[in-house]
Structure 1
Amino acid sequence: MPLHGLIHQDFVALDFETATTDRNSACAVALVKVQNDGIVHRAFRLIRPPTSEFRFTHIHGITWADVRHEPTFEEIWPELVQLTDGAFFYAAHNAAFDRSVLHACCKTYNLSVPQTPFVCTMQLARRCWRLRPTRLPDVCRYLGIDLQHHDAASDAEACARIVLAARRDAL
């Protein structure tokens, strides 16, 4: 999506953490809604994935014990998707990953797959500031954004702030 398409559009930044390499193994999700260039809502939920297998606890700190009594994606998505009403796009860092997790989770539970386009904040940082490397911690350091990497709420907030910084710098 061209940068000019970002200017003054409402959006939702989102981030997933997964238990395994299976894209439908989301164990956490965070959404940050931006309207009129300001953050208006934040949501974070732990998710019980389809199996109890966890391979990425060393990355995000989430275990099966943390989520075994939490709702499934099927149970939380209808509530969370309401937060995306009016969003022109979703923003995510390495958006292909988060898009694939969202789509896999929706398909696993026979939920409607959102058709909302994604904007990748990694690609946005490369275009807007010519940054390399563009891992989320690198971009946040450059922009002075606080980050607790691999905490879904912190990652989603950082993505929202990256888009807002790109808007500011593009004006």
Structure 2
Amino acid sequence: MDNFIAIDVETANNQPSSICAIGAVKVVDGVIADRFYQLVKPEPEWYIRHFSEEIHGIFPEDTRDAPTFDRVWMSMLEHFGIAGNWDNAVFVAHNKAFDERCLRAAFKVYGMTWPDNPFGCTLQKARRTIPRQLVGSYSLPYVCEFMGIPFYNHHNALADAEACAKIAMTLL
């Protein structure tokens, strides 16, 4: 896979639609071409539970004045130059089940139409191609370590998206 957008979201609480950060990395012809990161005002409930703060380090005051998901999504598409035509965009995430569920929920909250774009998963691919005894865990830091991909700042949406992009360039 040579052209795709690796995406990662962080959530504020147990509501899938409560996206509080989006990180995305655009890969063109097998090379990282661009990056996007934005804090998001979580909806429908803006509170950030303590457990989530501990995971990603995003606090209510960080997102209080941030744009809402619908504006951030359009801003990301514009940043990547695909706002008018993103029907052919391919998305990839590490644990697509989580990220896609959150994105779908946010789309629903804002009355947006979910696209039927291809959505790959580096977690699923890693499980199918890397023997468990070699990697220990299929979480992002372990897969990166196994593949020799430098990885810092786990649960920062941009760092996670970039790590996912690098895994996808090899495994997919």
Q: Say yes or no: does 1:154 pair with 2:148.
A: no
Deviation >4 Å, runs of 4+: none
Asked whether the equivalents of residues 25 and 35 of structure 2 are also in contact (C-alpha less than 8 Å), the reply is yes
Distance in 2 between residues matched to 1:93 and 1:104, nearest whole Å: 18
List gaps (5 residues or longer) in structure 2: none
1:141 matched to which residue of 2?
Answer: 145
**Which amino acid letter does the alignment assign opposite residue 109 of structure 1?**
Y
**Partner residue of 2:47 out of 49, 53, 62:** 53
Cα distance in 2 for partners of 1:104, 1:52 equals: 15
How many residues are aligned here? Answer: 160
Q: For the Cα contact (< 8 Å) 1:12–1:87, is it kept in 2? A: no
Unaligned ranges ≥5, structure 1: 1-5
CA distance in structure 2 between the aligned counterparts of 1:107 and 1:65, rounded to whole angstroms? 25
Distance 2:104 2:27 in 1: 22
Instruction: Give how far 1:145 is off.
Output: 1.6
TM-score by length of 2: 0.87
* TM-fit CA distance, 1:166: 1.8
Kindly provide the CA deviation profile for residues 51-78 of structure 1, in whole angstroms up to 9, marking residues without a partner as x. Answer: 2311200100001100101100022111
Q: Find out whether 1:41 has 2:30 as its counterpart.
A: no
1:75 & 1:126 partners in 2: Cα distance?
Answer: 35
Letter in 2 for 1:77: W
Would the aligned equivalents of 1:30 and 1:43 in 2 still touch at CA under 8 Å? yes
